[in-house]
Amino acid sequence: MMKKIFSILLLAAVVLISGCTNRFYLDQEFYKTNGEFVSITSDDFENLVYQNYVLFVYNNYCAFSIPCDEIFKQYMEQNNINFLSMSYEEFKNTKLHQTVDFAPSVIIVRNWRIIDYLDSEKDEYLDMYQDVEKFGEWFENYVYVDYQVE
C-alpha cells in the first residue's frame, strides 16, 4: 500500500513539474541570429502551418514616443532572435486578422494558434511597446529565448 501511495505521489510530482510551464521554443531557424525582422507576405504566411514563430505586424506610422519597432529590434538583437514581419495591409489577407485587428502588434504563434499578442488599443500593453524590459517579461512568459534542443 505504501509503495502505491509513493508511486502516485511521484507520478503527480512529475506531472506537476513538467506541466508548470506553457513556454515553448520557436522553430530553430529563429534563434542564434543577428536579431532581425524577416519580411514576409501573406502568401509566405500560408506556408507557416504548424510552425512556432513571432510575427510583428506594422503600419507606416507609430503614435508612440519611441517607435515600437525600435523596442522590438533592440530586444531581438539582445537575444539573437528573429521575428517575422508583415505590413498591416498584407496582414489583412491572413486568417490571423480575424483575431488581431490593430497594428502595430507582436503575435506569438504556436502550431497555427495565437498564444498571445500585443494589442495597441489596450492600456495594459502600452508599457511593452515602450520598454524593452517590459516587452521581454511579457514575451518570456511564453517563449524560451535561449534555444536548446527539446
Q: What is the pLDDT of residue 139?
A: 97
Average pLDDT, the chain: 83
Average confidence (pLDDT) over 34-46: 91
- Is residue 37 classed exposed, middle or buried when 0-12, 13-18 and 19+ CB atoms within 10 A define those classes? middle
Task: Average the pLDDT over 27-48 and give the result.
Answer: 90
**Least-confidence region, from 35-44, 58-67, 119-128, 132-141:** 58-67
Q: What is the CATH number of domain 23-139?
A: 3.40.30.10
Predicted pLDDT at 21: 61
Please write the tens of the pLDDT for every residue from 92-142: 999 899 999 888 999 999 998 999 999 988 999 999 999 999 999 999 999
In the chain, domain spans: 23-139
CA–CA dist 20, 147 (Å, integer): 19
Locus of grid cell 486568417: 95
Confidence (pLDDT) at 68: 77
